[in-house]
Structure 1
Amino acid sequence: MIVRFMILLVLVLPAVASAAGYNLPDFTPLIEKSSPAVVKINTVTKVKQGGLNLPPSHQIPDIFRHLFEPREMPERNMHSMGSGFFISADGYLLTNNHVIEDADEIVVRLVDRREFKAMIIGSDPRSDLALLKVDEDDLPFLELESSEALKVGEWVVAIGSPFGLDFSASAGIVSAIGRSIPTEKNENYVPFIQTDVAINPGNSGGPLFNLEGKVVGVNSQIYTRSGGSIGLSFAIPSAVAINVVSQLKEKGRVDRGWLGVVIQEVDKNLADSFGLKKPQGALVAQMERGGPADKSGIRVGDIILKFGKSTIVTSGDLPHVVGSTPPDTKVPVVVMREGKKKTLRVVVGRLPGGADAPPALSSSQDSGLDRLGLAVETVDAALKDKWRLPGGVRVTRVDPQGAAADAGVAPGDVIAQLGFEQINTFEDYTRITAKLPSDSLLPIRFFRDGRPTFRTIRLQ
């Protein structure tokens, strides 16, 4: 037994010495400096408990029917948690959309045990990002890395609250960049960063750092068969986050570029048949008639090789670069057509639909709208009860060129305040709208899916 132990020491010691020679990074200063800006997010969602499955009323004897009359079912609170981090000293913070989705109450907790209630400024399901704000100043915050210089093999660090274990740190390397992971709706607008950092439930929305202490990504999801980390975690790049934050702050929604094409991967056989030396690009398999690609002269059967300055290596690259391009931008697009390269000028459209931007009506339907570019109606009692509203008016139509659309108002929103006056009835709205001054920046408060939001509106 003693001999074996001595042999084990001889074998282990060189390994320890060898590891020390690698000069591994010390993460202590980074974690100590960055942890104060990371928060744990606790949410409460009120849900009504399900009722009994009852037989049809005509099958219930009259003497017992009163026992089965509909009753208001009690609510219960569902609790959830995640992570996030401040991005400015005045209380703006970033997290995942799935962390706060449908939440009725959001509380953020700092490492020094302070707690604040947060309101939602805007959310973007397509990128799984949400911008929140707390009413506090002089808060610690983190800087989002604006460049795209991240490389495979680079060290990265995550801080979050996995399984509720507050402010845990883990480290690893970047395994890949530009990963395409389609959503349940088969949308693919995020070029994910893949790492082997230990990410688990509760880390969602937390920051991913480079060794300079800058945030290079927002941890979003993992691939797992057990529910825990197996070394496949994915983060939203900071470049995507910067764009989303800017748009959510400005207009409460995220507009994305759109081509109106259905694409597929180019394999070796297709590459040979189209005159390519190797598989590359995105093959246009179908187009929407009258869409941006159709109007620009792109044809079914074209292989898109380059979009602007970006080379399209795989078909998954195209949605990433198109989605990040502002609508109405004119972009040179290189395609392979009948064995020859051809350059086209494409005016990028606006991606329609999505929960982040409910569709507004076209200008041909805008007759009868008010000064704000809106048509509204009285809020019914059921919606008042559901959202706990004292009153307001519900938006039914929006002029996409109007002042309200610029403020981020969309069909289905309930306006509760204009200027500094509360709106409880349709008459209140009509009276206040008529006297609003022109060319003045005024606050407007509305509810979307029961969640209050403040914006500013300017009447021309």
Structure 2
Amino acid sequence: MVRRRWSRLGAGALVAALMVVASVASSEETRVDESRAPQSREQIRLSFAPVVGRAAPAVVNIYSRRIVQSRGSSPLFDDPLFRRFFGGDGSPGMQRQRVQNSLGSGVLVDPRGLIVTNHHVIAGADEVICVLSDRRELEATLVGSDERTDLAVLKVDVGDERLPFLQFRDSEQVEVGDLVLAIGNPFGVGQTVTSGIVSALAQTRVGISDLNFFIQTDAAINPGNSGGALIDVDGRLIGINTAIYSRSGGSLGIGFAVPSNMVRTVVEGFAGSGRVVRAWLGAWGRSVTADLAQGLDLKTPGGVVIEEVYPGGPADRAGIRIGDVIVAVQGRAVGDTAALDYRIATLPAGESSELELVRRGRPLAVRIRAEEPPEDPPRALTLLEGAHPLAGATVANLSPALAEELGEGRPWKGVVVVDIRAGTPAQRLGLKRGDRLVGLNGGEIATAPGLQRQAARARPPWQLRIRRGQETFDVVIRG
């Protein structure tokens, strides 16, 4: 009898203990853990409303207007009698004005009214209007715009008022599979929130800007979302929505955002010194393919093999040599040249950073000091004038600073085209911004002012050698 009673008590105690454990487990299941997938129905029913409520007021709508001059397409505009009765400036092809409107989104990143958006949203705009979450319409001034990253910084004047804003999150801490929210103004219908995950990181084959390095997400992003916010579940900014892959104009679940670390660099540059200061490596190379990896004694393809080093630059002073393969910057892997450009461009200016190399099959670490590229020689902007095919082109002496500005990277000397006037011989010749002028009538082109003198003395036929990208071609103009 005693033994049976103790067995019953033991069984009861065991059942009670199991119930306590089950209760604890149940409470553990309902606890939110960001690093785990949902474990129960209660977790699935969680709402993003509190996060959106905090973050959405910091996302604004942007409307830009641009006045475009267009020539009348009807032959009637060339008739003097028609122009006499219906107006015109007396010149053939009466000029008409039309207003071109575009819309997008922007993100407040400072309580004093600093807004970041895409460069293509406000490019060429004569007027930019920002609509805040409380429906106030404020005219914005352009602080700076950076075509290379497709980012622009605006400012609205709100006096002493502090506006809601988003804090930056270190985009290097973002992982594939993280939950994200995209907030913007698609198709001009008003502010919209969509959810998804981070689909991929370090996307460099997108072709949107010179510094290709994007966060990919499947959160629905549509036209009008450009410049909007990509945030994490804590409401912190991890990217600026920039583009989508689409065949119809709508979302196919492939959207791209500029990482917050690059956004922060651009914002701090324009807000501080009025320009973007990007670190410069002072070396140029090519992406390591499978064939190159075999020849360089690398186990796997990846990295950048150095083919040219600027004398006295950061890479040269750090001891980087031609043939070295850069595989990581500050512990972050470098897959190709676009990834290397991004890693270097987001290094803190003036600070020392570690680069991991492979030299003749052996690992090596060096340290470089992040600094901006020098403008040596001075650019000496020169407008070419006269009776020759180059008239109307503005040229400059190429330097590391100007090469970075143009997004060229490798060429550090020579004469480059920086602007072309419409309707001039240079435009009809087909010159483009970034073209390097190498030779004229058999003579080498050394400086921009020297080219002006060479072109003035030259006589037809003109023989011009041009380098565009990695290609060099000769053009002969008979006169």
In the alignment, does 2:358 pair up with 1:336? yes
Letter in 2 for 1:212: D
Aligned-residue offset at 1:75: 1.8
Residues 1:213 and 1:153: Cα distance change in structure 2 (over 3 Å):
same
Residues 1:194 and 1:299: Cα distance change in structure 2 (over 3 Å):
same
Aligned-residue offset at 1:41: 0.5
Residues 1:163 and 1:351: Cα distance change in structure 2 (over 3 Å):
farther
Task: Judge conservation of contact 1:92–1:133 (CA < 8 Å) in 2.
Answer: yes
Give the whole-Å Cα distance in 1 for the aligned partners of 2:171 and 2:317.
33
Letter in 2 for 1:234: F
Deviations along 1:252-311, whole A, 9 cap, x unmatched? 211112224443332344323322222232122445566543565433322112334433
In the alignment, does 2:122 pair up with 1:100? yes
Match of 1:200 among 222, 240, 243: 222
Give the 3-state SS of the residue equivalent to 1:220 in structure 2.
strand
Question: Which residues of 2 match residues 1-400 of structure 1 at below 5 A?
Answer: 20=41, 23-51=44-72, 69-70=91-92, 73-136=95-158, 137-146=161-170, 148-181=172-205, 183=207, 187-188=210-211, 190-287=212-309, 292-294=314-316, 296-326=318-348, 329-351=351-373, 362=378
Task: Judge conservation of contact 1:296–1:344 (CA < 8 Å) in 2.
Answer: yes
Give the whole-Å Cα distance in 1 for the aligned partners of 2:285 and 2:362.
19
Give the 3-state SS of the residue equivalent to 1:171 in structure 2.
strand
Residues 1:331 and 1:22: Cα distance change in structure 2 (over 3 Å):
closer
Give the whole-Å Cα distance in 2 for the aligned partners of 1:95 and 1:360.
33
Task: Judge conservation of contact 1:181–1:192 (CA < 8 Å) in 2.
Answer: no
Give the whole-Å Cα distance in 1 for the aligned partners of 2:179 and 2:272.
34
Residues 1:339 and 1:144: Cα distance change in structure 2 (over 3 Å):
closer
Residues 1:286 and 1:53: Cα distance change in structure 2 (over 3 Å):
farther
Letter in 2 for 1:213: G
Task: Judge conservation of contact 1:283–1:315 (CA < 8 Å) in 2.
Answer: no
Give the whole-Å Cα distance in 2 for the aligned partners of 1:315 and 1:71.
48
Letter in 1 for 2:347: T
Deviations along 1:69-120, whole A, 9 cap, x unmatched? 4476232110000001222222111111111111000011123221111101
Give the whole-Å Cα distance in 2 for the aligned partners of 1:152 and 1:243.
23
Letter in 1 for 2:164: P
Decide which moves more: 108-117 or 25-34.
Answer: 25-34
Letter in 2 for 1:46: I
Give the whole-Å Cα distance in 1 for the aligned partners of 2:94 and 2:325.
58
Give the whole-Å Cα distance in 1 for the aligned partners of 2:205 and 2:104.
21
Give the 3-state SS of the residue equivalent to 1:243 in structure 2.
helix
Give the 3-state SS of the residue equivalent to 1:254 in structure 2.
coil
Letter in 1 for 2:65: V
Task: Judge conservation of contact 2:59–2:183 (CA < 8 Å) in 1.
Answer: yes
Residues 1:288 and 1:72: Cα distance change in structure 2 (over 3 Å):
farther
Letter in 2 for 1:259: L
Letter in 2 for 1:180: T
Task: Judge conservation of contact 1:258–1:327 (CA < 8 Å) in 2.
Answer: no
Task: Judge conservation of contact 1:48–1:76 (CA < 8 Å) in 2.
Answer: yes
Give the 3-state SS of the residue equivalent to 1:173 in structure 2.
strand
Task: Judge conservation of contact 2:196–2:217 (CA < 8 Å) in 1.
Answer: yes
TM-score for the superposition, normalised by structure 1: 0.64
Letter in 2 for 1:45: R
What is residue 411 of structure 2 aligned with on the other side?
Answer: none
Give the 3-state SS of the residue equivalent to 1:257 in structure 2.
coil
Deviations along 1:123-181, whole A, 9 cap, x unmatched? 11122111111111232222222463212111111111111110011111111122114
Task: Judge conservation of contact 1:121–1:248 (CA < 8 Å) in 2.
Answer: yes
Letter in 2 for 1:170: T
Residues 1:166 and 1:335: Cα distance change in structure 2 (over 3 Å):
same
Give the whole-Å Cα distance in 2 for the aligned partners of 1:280 and 1:292.
22
What is residue 434 of structure 1 aligned with on the other side?
Answer: none
Give the 3-state SS of the residue equivalent to 1:74 in structure 2.
strand
Decide which moves more: 300-309 or 224-233.
Answer: 300-309
Larger radius of gyration: 2
Task: Judge conservation of contact 2:261–2:346 (CA < 8 Å) in 1.
Answer: no
Give the 3-state SS of the residue equivalent to 1:31 in structure 2.
helix
Give the whole-Å Cα distance in 2 for the aligned partners of 1:232 and 1:41.
23
Task: Judge conservation of contact 1:107–1:117 (CA < 8 Å) in 2.
Answer: yes
Give the 3-state SS of the residue equivalent to 1:159 in structure 2.
strand
Gaps of 5+ in 2: 1-38, 382-395, 397-417, 420-479
Aligned-residue offset at 1:226: 1.5
Residues 1:289 and 1:75: Cα distance change in structure 2 (over 3 Å):
farther
Give the whole-Å Cα distance in 1 for the aligned partners of 2:376 and 2:366.
30
Give the 3-state SS of the residue equivalent to 2:120 in structure 1.
helix
TM-score for the superposition, normalised by structure 2: 0.62
Gaps of 5+ in 1: 1-17, 353-358, 366-374, 376-395, 397-410, 413-460
Give the 3-state SS of the residue equivalent to 1:87 in structure 2.
strand
Residues 1:225 and 1:300: Cα distance change in structure 2 (over 3 Å):
farther
Seq. identity, %: 37
Task: Judge conservation of contact 2:72–2:96 (CA < 8 Å) in 1.
Answer: no
Give the whole-Å Cα distance in 2 for the aligned partners of 1:67 and 1:210.
56
Residues 1:292 and 1:52: Cα distance change in structure 2 (over 3 Å):
farther
